[in-house]
Structure 1
Amino acid sequence: MDIATRATTLLDLHHTGTTLVLPTVWDAWSAGVVAEAGFRALTVGSHPLADSRGQSDNEGMTIDDALDGVRRVCAAVPDVPVSADMESGYGTAPAELVERLLEAGAVGINIEDTVHSEGGRLREVAEHADYIGGIRQAADAAGVDLVINARTDVFMKDGQFEDPLAEVLARMTACEAAGSRSSYPVRVPDAATLQAILERLDGPVNVTANPRSGSPAGSLEDLQVMGVHRVTFGPLLMKELAPDLTALVAPWR
């Protein structure tokens, strides 16, 4: 399956009428396990990838580091569409970012509005949308239906916004207009807030869930009933494996 076909496949999976679960992996081994379990697509998380490399999230990796990890995952599952979390873009121009991401084999991308390399500032609404738009233009020029998952961290900024929901909607609406294919408001606090987001946005919405305990908005079944289009695990899958690993090896101390 060539890269253009993988990208279109990933995009189509967002529009099947069922919730797409993209387990978040961090290396070739975890990607292979997830693919073997029958998942049709997956995503690489910057946090677990950084942990696996002994580096820190929040742009503690360079773009070369991140793409090295993405490339290894994509090579391990060549017929499975892979989306990659590229934080805020690592200070890279959209055209270069798209070129290098596609070369690594990924056909989806997370881009957040927190720029950790600049003191953790939050991009302005138009600034973030413009960056998303640049990525869309570069992907279209390459002839690839790159699935841009536009992320906002507004709900993580306690007290910074008088009306966080309105701010999230403004940001995600602008990103949709700029060419994102999915919206990712991180840490949606509850089901009512998520329902409001689903009702106001035109395209798919991504929710983070814990693979054991679900999300603040409910279980997988709850999210399916609400019409959530996409679920990812962020760093939570890796974290949930730690107690099991401890229990497995502890008797051998």
Structure 2
Amino acid sequence: MSGARNGSRAGTAARFRELHHGRQPGEALVLPGAWDAAGARIVADAGFAALATPSAGVSASLGYADGECPAEEMFAAVARIARAVALPVTADIERGYGLPPREIAERLLDTGAVGCNLEDSVAGKLVPAGEQAEFLASVREALGPAPFLNARVDAHLHGAEEPLAEALERGRAYVAAGADGVYPIGAPLDDLAVLARELPVPVNGLARVAGGGPSAAELAAAGCTRVTFGGGLAARAYDSVRADVRALAAELRPGS
């Protein structure tokens, strides 16, 4: 059985990797963010080819602020999502929760996920690029060649002096370290176009689901070949529930 599972996972990983490549200009792999098993099934039923788990959405569903979810709870949630669907699942695992690279790889692979995001900042500060590149290289070695390693670049998010130049430098270092994709979170469309042109791997853009930022179509037009939503879908769902519950509470107040 173990060999069958490993073979199935390898096939799913290869399928996920292939989804990133061979796309026409202006076309992107769109990965909705599912934060629980029910949401994952909704994504699958809608016909998407793969999905991404958002750390912010998973954390909220478990009662934690973004960045405060314990590793064991995050990996357990990813495993429930991956078990719920036949789609390839890639997981946002922040910066690995302080775990050594081999343990990060083991825990990720145990969930059934076939890819992950790893970010390059801690507590709002960028990790030195060389240090992050070494970390990514160690994770790459521990994961093996199949899972898709998406390197998040936080230069625009955390106020680098020259964010585009910083993102380019980091992106090149991370690709050399074995990253399969680069995720310059928060970069504007013009900078994303430069990064997509200059880097030899898929560039991941962050879309907004309710305005206030670029759409999936705008990101694809800028050259992003992968689009994710962070915790945006989860936040929108919780906002809807919050509004409904507050309306219900108002109805139940005396004199209403």
TM-score of the aligned structures, taking structure 1 as reference length: 0.89
Which of the residues 129, 139, 145 maps onto 2:143? 139
State the Cα deviation string for residues 33-82 of structure 1 (Å, max 9, x = none): 11111111001111110000001212x112111101101101111x2100
Aligned counterparts of 1:76 and 1:102: Cα–Cα separation in 2: 16
Q: Which residue of 2 aligns with 1:94?
A: 101
Q: Contact (CA 8 Å) 2:126, 2:158: kept in 1 or not?
A: no
Any stretches of 5+ residues in structure 1 without a counterpart? none
Q: Contact (CA 8 Å) 1:214, 1:220: kept in 2 or not?
A: no
Aligned counterparts of 1:39 and 1:16: Cα–Cα separation in 2: 17
Instruction: Tell me the SS of whatever aligns to 1:154.
Output: coil
1:76 aligns with 2:75: no
Tell me the matched-pair count.
Answer: 240
Aligned counterparts of 2:204 and 2:73: Cα–Cα separation in 1: 25
1:7 aligns with 2:36: no
Q: Which residue of 1 aligns with 2:254?
A: none
Which of the residues 30, 33, 54 maps onto 2:63? 54
What amino acid sits opposite 1:170 in the alignment?
E
1:124 aligns with 2:128: yes
State the Cα deviation string for residues 139-176 of structure 1 (Å, max 9, x = none): 22xxx511011002111223xx3311111111111001
Change (3 A) 1:36 1:179: same
Aligned counterparts of 1:225 and 1:61: Cα–Cα separation in 2: 35
1:111 aligns with 2:118: yes
Q: Contact (CA 8 Å) 1:43, 1:85: kept in 2 or not?
A: yes
Offset at residue 220 of structure 1 (A): 2.6
Q: Which residue of 2 aligns with 1:16?
A: 22
Q: Which residue of 2 aligns with 1:233?
A: 229
Instruction: Tell me the SS of whatever aligns to 2:209.
Output: coil
- Give the number of the structure whose alpha-carbon radius of gyration is greater: 2
Q: Contact (CA 8 Å) 2:118, 2:152: kept in 1 or not?
A: yes
Which of the residues 202, 221, 231 maps onto 2:217? 221
Q: Which residue of 1 aligns with 2:176?
A: 177
Instruction: Tell me the SS of whatever aligns to 1:38.
Output: coil
Which of the residues 3, 27, 32 maps onto 2:36? 27
Offset at residue 8 of structure 1 (A): 0.9
What amino acid sits opposite 1:39 in the alignment?
F
Q: Which residue of 2 aligns with 1:165?
A: 164
Any stretches of 5+ residues in structure 2 without a counterpart? 1-6, 252-256
Aligned counterparts of 2:239 and 2:102: Cα–Cα separation in 1: 41
Offset at residue 16 of structure 1 (A): 3.1
TM-score of the aligned structures, taking structure 2 as reference length: 0.88
Change (3 A) 1:61 1:251: closer
Offset at residue 211 of structure 1 (A): 2.1
1:67 aligns with 2:75: yes
Change (3 A) 1:243 1:51: closer
Offset at residue 200 of structure 1 (A): 1.2
1:85 aligns with 2:92: yes
